[in-house]
Structure formats: structure tokens, C-alpha cells
Amino acid sequence: MLFNSIDFAIFLPIVFILYWFVTYKSLKLQNLLIVISSFVFYGWWDWRFLILMILSASVDFFVGILLINQFNKKKRLLLLLCSIVANLGILAFFKYFNFFVDNFISVFSFFGVAFNPISLKIVLPVGISFYTFQALSYTIDVYRKKLEPTKSIVNFFAFLSFFPQLVAGPIERATNLLPQFYVKRTFDYSKAVDGMRQILWGLFKKIVIADSCSTYVNMIFDNSHQLSGSTLVIGAFLFAFQIYGDFSGYSDIAIGTARLFGFLIMRNFAFPYFSRDMAEFWRRWHISLSTWFRDYLYFPLGGSRGNSWMKVRNIIVIFVVSGFWHGANWTFIAWGALNALYFLPLLLMNKNRQNLEIVAHGKIFPTVKEIFNMSVTFGLTLLAWVFFRAKSISQALDYLSGIFSRSLFTYPEIRPRYVLILVIIFIVIEWIGRENQYGIQKTGLTWNRPFRLLFYYVLILFILYFAGEEKEFIYFQF
Amino acid sequence: MKKFILKFLIFFFLVCLSFFPIDYFISYHLKKSKCYLIGEYGVWNDIYSGSINADILIFGSSRARSHICSKILEDSLNRSVYNLGIEGQNFWLQYLRYKEYLKKNKCPKFIIISIDLWMLDKRTDLYNYQQFLPYMLFNKNIFDYTSSYDGFSFFEYFFPMVRYIGEREAISEAFKNIVYPSVDTLHREKGYYAKEMAWNDDFDKAKASLRYWESKPDSATVVLFNKFLLDCKEKNIGVVFVYTPEYIEGQKFTKNRADIISYFEDISKDEGLSFLDYSADEMSKDRNNFINVSHLTRSKTLVFSRKFVSDLKRHNEITGIDNSN
């Protein structure tokens, strides 16, 4: 079920009413309702995906149970490995099988050894990378004794399948979300209103910004070989806002929906395009994944401790793995590697933690230096996004060589004026709200109610105008 | 909790309430479009304003719309004529036009039905669905005859604005009619409109992708067609079938063409109706007369219309109309 669908618009109020009016008196019933509604939400795509998720979740639940009374270090490690192998095995099969087979064949054929290709028609289950990582966070935290494992399978399934963030995150930590299922949730008016506002903003980002950009992005990337450099820059620019509007829009809807049910889930985006360097960008982009890799991969590898070579190795590993997490294609690996290259100089010069606060904090306008830094950072991300969006490495390289050609200074063939105006309005709103959790969290709160409601109303009209065909969120494919 | 739900419902209610005037505003201006959707709005406007009241109506698809010039028929027959041909639609939606026409206009004395090979087939997609947008809210006939298509959901017929969600092109068209009303130049002359164009490659493309094409009449549409003929008989409306020129090479492309034509010939014999078939006419033999297999160029449609009206007169079809009603 898509957040931007009529199905969800009907589903959400039904679950909300059942949750707060029918099952309100019993915590167990509330959690059970969350499990059932999450299964309905997920099974709406394909009920067979549900079996896979239940299988994966069951392994982690029972591993957690077995870890409770297991004090033998080796056996504990063995149990952890069982969980990791099961989760990553499923992920590897469904997401990476064909990729590995194809590359295996390519390598051997390069050396003159021919194989009959085995290519399976594997359907990638929606959101598999997200819930796999969420499940892994549970087992690893239990193993590390950071978290008491739950003995309730309902609570565990509620945690793992919680529908607002099931298919595209934020990838929650068990230490944050699971305990929220143990305590009675009380309805909080201001949080619910805030949740609704965040949902509205998320829908605006997705439907008005991302989907509008996508039309031109597809047009430009599909015909990149015959377009001028200036048009290709527009394509990359719009893709940057498509992916941001799409993914952060999803996260906003997820966080807002969770708030309606009394849950607080982690922030996933913090105005990344206002970053002044790449390190700041990565603290603000897809926070739940970045911190996941930091906690469960980067730190165990040694983090920023050790000699320079170790630091370089660790950074390259997490960025490349992070890229590969996004999809079984060399383009994602290249995207990750390129970001590692961007990041490394800052780390080696010890400048990776110099911009911790949001830009121009407490001020209206940034300084010239800040504008310059933001522009450079945005420009670098733009180049990296080309790899992310391209179908192959060669297309990405052609696209980049097209940008850096003489035609960069020609008049673009495709001029999406209204989309560019929308993006500029969007940037202005985000800039105004950059010190808050999301763009419009405080916008209009000091205004008279009629003006505030009018603002929301205008957003709704925009959403209705740009709605129509339900376009899937980009990150569903990951 | 109650406060939240109450406030949400009030806001929701006010938003929904505001949809009525916005819906009216968009529909009002969208109806003014002349170019958009080959001028279908102009025809629907004439129908709903009750200003047609023609003696002779022409029904059919785009072939009817572009092959039979109302003005030529009018001048020659000295009777009011209106062409209700509807682009890309089979009889199911041609009948909807008939029903809507009768709601607001007086009963015609004569109906010319332009036959198509696929006229009795069932389309699943609602081609040019935007033509219904300004008229469909709370319109039972449109609901009855379009809801079986993959077009609109139930809510779109009975809740304001829902059908305009995401209809950027139609909304932009409505706004264009406010800002640049004079840009619209296409005018369907009493429903007739044809284009002067050179032969295009539609036929070559079709031949390249398909070996042949086969008409598959739909039983419900056949029943509807018979119901229509019966209704005409009861209302004393004269009916004539016409198969307007079709490029001869293209005729071979339809596998069961002979069966479909003979089906209409049988009906015309059974019901005592005339069937003027121009399939083998000289006009059908020259590719230069056509834009594609099914459509003549504008200049040739005028030639055809003159020929058609003289044939009608020769067959004493129209001249025999009873003038009393």
C-alpha cells in the first residue's frame, strides 16, 4: 500500500479509530492491531512477501529468546551468526543473486572460461533491505547486551513490521522503538497535530516536488546521449530534488503517521542540501542508515581509531557497502565509492566534525562563505547522483562527459520552468524551517488561525493538483 | 482525542465544502475549450444547452464527425443538421450522446448512423475521458454509460473535485480559457470537423505490428444497438446506415470485415432501413484522398458529403421526412 494512495487514505483512519477507540484499554490488543494492520499494509503488495518477512522475523525472535539464558560466549556468537546468515542470506538471494551470477560469468568469460548463465526471475520483496537491517539491529543489540530481548512475539512483530516505517524506513533501532511497545501509549493532541502537519509536508514533498521532477528526470536521463550539457545539469539538479522529495517525503509521512499512534521514531533527514561539507551532508542524509552503518559496521571495524590507512579502509568499506545496500548494480557501488572520496579528505584533515549545527543558525541569511560551501557540497552530491540514477556506469560516465562539454554553455533544450519554480519555492520553505524537525513544523504557528489554515489549504490544493497517477517511492526498490 | 477528531473533521468538512465552488469554476471554464479534445466540449455544450434541436442527427465515431459536413447537408436538404460524431468511441458512448441529447433537445426526425467495423466492440479504456469532466458530476446517464470503462471511480461521479485530482492538463486548459480566451480557434461547425493533412504512416505501422485485425462485437453493445433502433422506431425517427469511404487496401486488414458489414446489411433489410455503403466507391480506391485508412482529407470529406447528400436524395430517404412533428 502506498502512502500516496486512496487505499492508504482509507486504511489509516480505520486503523486509527480501531487503535484509539476499540483496542485502547488493552496494550496487548493495541500491539496485536499494529501487527495485523502492518501485515495488511505489507501484504497489499503481494501476500507472498509477508511469508518472507515472517520467516526472517521469526529467526530473530527465537535467536533473541535463546540468547537470554546463553552465557557461553561461543554459543552466543554462533546464535548471532545464525541470525546474520539467515537475514543477509535472504537479502543476498532476493537482491543480489543475479548480480553475483552475472559478474561471476563476466569475470570467467574474460579469462576465456564459458559458463551457461543461470538467471532466476526473482521478484525483489518491497522494503526487504529496511526490515532486514532493523531485524539485525535487534539481534546485535541483544547480543551486545544493550537490549533485553522481548519474550512477546506480538511485540517483536509489531516492532519489526510497524507499518509507517516498514518498507522505506527510517530504519529503527530496537533500543528506541521496541520499548515503546511495552508501555501504554496516551493520545497527545499536540503531537497528533504535529504528526498530521508532517504527513501533509511529506505528501507535498512526494507528490508536488518529487513526482513533478521525475517526469523531466526520466525524459533527460533516457535521452541523455542527445542532450546538451546544460540540459544534463538540469536533469541532475532535478534528480537531486526528486530523490530528496521522494525519500524524505516518505520519512515525513512515516514519522507523522507514527506520531498519530503515539510513537516517536527517529529522524531521517535534516535538510541535507544546506550542508557545508560532505561530512555534514552525511550526518543529515538518510540518518537512520548512516548511523546504522556507523554503529554496526564502522565502529566494529575500528572507526576513526587507528592509523590513517585503517581510517581510509573503514570509510571506503562503509560507503561502498552503503552504496551496495541500495541496489545490485555497479552504479550504486560507484556512488558509494565517490562519496567515500569526497569524505576522506575531511576525515584525514580532521575537519569532518566542524559543521555540527545547521547553517546560519539563528540568522536569516547565510554568509557568502556559507553559500559558497553549500554550493560546492551540493555540486558534489549532484555529480554523485548521476551514478545513482544512471542505468550503468558507462551511461553515468557519458552523462558526466556530456555535462563537462562545450554544450554546457548552450541554451538547454528542455526547460522545465514550472518545476524549477516549484523547487525554488520548496527550497525557500525548507530554508525558513531549517532549524526545526521538518520544513513546516513551525511555519505559521505564530500566524492567526485563518492564515495558518489557509497555508495548509494551499498545500492541499497543490497536492491535489499534482496528484493523479500513484508513483512508487524510489526507495521501495531498495 | 475528541478535540483532535472534531477539529480534523471540521477542517476536512470545510475543505470538502470549498470543493464545490472550485469544481464549478474549473468546469465552467473548461467547457469553453474549443481546441482541446478535438472540440468535443463544443458538442457537449450544444447538447446540454438544448440549442441543437436538429431535424437530422449524425451519429458515429470520428469517421462520422469528419466525413459528413452538416452544413452541406443542411444547405442541400433545407433542414437543420447536427453531427454528433464522437472521437474514438464505439456505439456504447454514441448511445450516451443520444440519451443526453434527448434530455435537452427535441426529438430528431432522422438519424444517420455512420457505421464502423468496431462500432459494436467493447472498449475497456475510456478514450478522451476528459470530455466528461465538466458534465459528469451527479449525472446519472454519464455514470451509467461510462462507469463500466477503466476510467473513473465511483467517487469521481458523486464528489466534487475528486475527478479533477491530478488532471493538470484539464485544469490548465480551464485556466488558459480565462487568461487567453482568444487562443482557441478550432471550431466544430455544427459538430463537423475534418483536417487537411497528408497520408500518415499509421497504416504502415499497424501492418508492421499486426498481421490482421479482427472485430469482436460485444453482446451488450449489440443489445444496446437493437434497443436504440427500436427506440427510434417507437419515436418515429427515420434511420439510415452509411459506411463512409475507407481506403481499399486497409479494408483487407480486417479479417472479419465481410461478416460485420453483412451483419449491418441484415439489420437494414430486417428493419427496412437504407444502407449506403461507400466501401467500393471510387473515393476509397485512391490513397491520396485519405489521411489514414479510415479518414478522408478535409477537402475530400466535402466532396463526399455532396455525393452522400445527393445519394440520400436519390434514395428518397430524407426528403420523405414527415414535417408534422
Q: What is the mean pLDDT of residues B198-205?
A: 83
Cβ count near B258 (within 10 Å): 10
Q: Name beta bridge partners: B112.
A: B58, B240
Grouping H, G, I as helix, E, B as strand and the rest as coil, residue A22 is helix
Strand order across the beta sheet in which B238-243 lies: B81-83, B56-59, B110-114, B238-243, B274-277
Q: What is the mean pLDDT of residues B174-199?
A: 82
pLDDT at A70 > cutoff 90: no
Do residue B4 and residue A187 have CB atoms under 8 angstroms apart? yes
Cell of A376: 560546492
Question: What ipTM was reported for this prediction?
Answer: 0.77
Q: Reply yes or no on whether A326 is catalytic.
A: yes
pLDDT at A301 > cutoff 50: yes
What confidence category does residue B319 fall into, taking pLDDT thresholds of 50, 70 and 90? low
SS (H, E, C) chain B: CHHHHHHHHHHHHHHHHHHHHHHHHHHHHHCCCCCHHHHHHHHHHHHHHCCCCCCEEEECCHHHHHHCCHHHHHHHHCCCEEECCCCCCCHHHHHHHHHHHHHHCCCCCEEEEECCCCCCECCCECCCHHHHCCCCCCCHHHHHHHCCCECCCHHHHHCCCHHHCCCHHHHHHHHHHHHCCCCCCCCCECCECCCCCCCCCHHHHHHHHCCCECCCECHHHHHHHHHHHHHHHHCCCEEEEEECCCCHHHHCCECCHHHHHHHHHHHHHHHCCEEEECCCCHHHHCHHHECCCCCECHHHHHHHHHHHHHHHHHCCCHHHCCCCC
DSSP state of A20: I
Cell of A339: 562519496
Q: What is the mean pLDDT of residues A240-269?
A: 95
Q: Are the beta carbons of B135 and B235 closer than 8 angstroms? A: no
Mean pLDDT lowest among A99-113, A181-195, A242-256, B227-241: A99-113
d(CA B289, CA B323): 37
Q: Are the beta carbons of A323 and A337 closer than 8 angstroms? A: yes
Q: What percent of chain B has pLDDT over 70?
A: 95
B168, closest residue in chain A (CA to CA):
A465
pLDDT at A310 > cutoff 90: no
Q: What is the pLDDT of residue B325?
A: 40
Q: What is the pLDDT of residue A113?
A: 74
Mean pLDDT lowest among B20-24, B137-141, B174-178: B174-178
What confidence category does residue A230 fall into, taking pLDDT thresholds of 50, 70 and 90? very high
3-state helix, strand, coil split of chain A in percent (to 5) is 70, 0, 30
A340-382 tens-digit pLDDT? 999 999 988 888 888 889 988 889 899 999 999 999 999 999 9
Q: What is the pLDDT of residue A1?
A: 79
Q: Which of B3, B167, B171 sits opposite A189 (nearest CB)?
A: B3
- Chain B positions touching A458 (Cβ under 8 A) are none
Do residue B1 and residue A467 have CB atoms under 8 angstroms apart? no
d(CA A155, CA A158): 5
Mean pLDDT score across all residues of chain A: 90
Substitution target in A206, A459, A464, A470 with the highest count of B β-carbons within 10 Å is A464
Q: Which of residues 186-225 of A touch B (CB under 8 A)?
A: 187, 189, 192-193, 196
Sign of dihedral through CA atoms A168, A173, A174, A179? negative
Q: What is the pLDDT of residue A202?
A: 95
Do residue A189 and residue B4 have CB atoms under 8 angstroms apart? yes
pLDDT at A122 > cutoff 80: no
Residue with the bigger pLDDT between A25 and A253: it is A253
Q: What is the mean pLDDT of residues B124-142?
A: 92
A402-457 tens-digit pLDDT? 999 988 899 999 889 899 999 999 999 999 999 999 999 887 777 888 888 899 99
d(CA A399, CA A416): 19
Q: Which of B153, B161, B165 sits opposite A468 (nearest CB)?
A: B165
Cell of B5: 477528531
pLDDT at A115 > cutoff 80: no
Sign of dihedral through CA atoms B269, B270, B275, B281? negative
d(CA A475, CA A74): 37
Q: Name beta bridge partners: B217.
A: B121
Q: What is the mean pLDDT of residues B255-266?
A: 91
Residue with the bigger pLDDT between A478 and A128: it is A128
pLDDT at B135 > cutoff 50: yes
What confidence category does residue A103 fall into, taking pLDDT thresholds of 50, 70 and 90? confident
Q: Are the beta carbons of B63 and B85 closer than 8 angstroms? A: yes
B70-113 tens-digit pLDDT? 999 999 988 999 999 999 889 999 999 999 999 999 999 999 99
Do residue A465 and residue B166 have CB atoms under 8 angstroms apart? yes
What confidence category does residue A469 fall into, taking pLDDT thresholds of 50, 70 and 90? low
Q: Are the beta carbons of A441 and A198 closer than 8 angstroms? A: yes
Q: Are the beta carbons of B134 and B262 closer than 8 angstroms? A: no
- Report the candidate in A168, A212, A196 with the shortest Cα–Cα distance to residue A426: A212
- Report the candidate in A387, A383, A388 with the shortest Cα–Cα distance to residue A404: A383
- Chain B positions touching A453 (Cβ under 8 A) are 11
A11-68 tens-digit pLDDT? 999 999 999 999 988 999 999 999 999 999 999 888 888 998 999 999 999 999 998 8
Calculate the alpha carbon distances from B108 to A165, B82, B95, B323 in Å: 62, 10, 14, 11
d(CA A197, CA A252): 9
Q: What is the pLDDT of residue A102?
A: 79
Q: What is the mean pLDDT of residues A244-267?
A: 95
Do residue A464 and residue B161 have CB atoms under 8 angstroms apart? yes
Do residue B168 and residue A189 have CB atoms under 8 angstroms apart? no
Q: What percent of chain A has pLDDT over 90?
A: 64
What confidence category does residue B323 fall into, taking pLDDT thresholds of 50, 70 and 90? very low
d(CA A445, CA A195): 14
Q: What is the pLDDT of residue B316?
A: 63
Q: Are the beta carbons of A476 and A168 closer than 8 angstroms? A: yes
What confidence category does residue A477 fall into, taking pLDDT thresholds of 50, 70 and 90? low
Q: What is the pLDDT of residue B186?
A: 63
Q: Which of B4, B166, B171 sits opposite A469 (nearest CB)?
A: B166
d(CA B2, CA A192): 12
Q: What is the pLDDT of residue B40?
A: 87
- Chain A positions touching B164 (Cβ under 8 A) are 464
Q: What is the pLDDT of residue B309?
A: 92
d(CA A392, CA A369): 36
User: How close does chain B come to A57, measured CA to CA in Å?
Assistant: 33
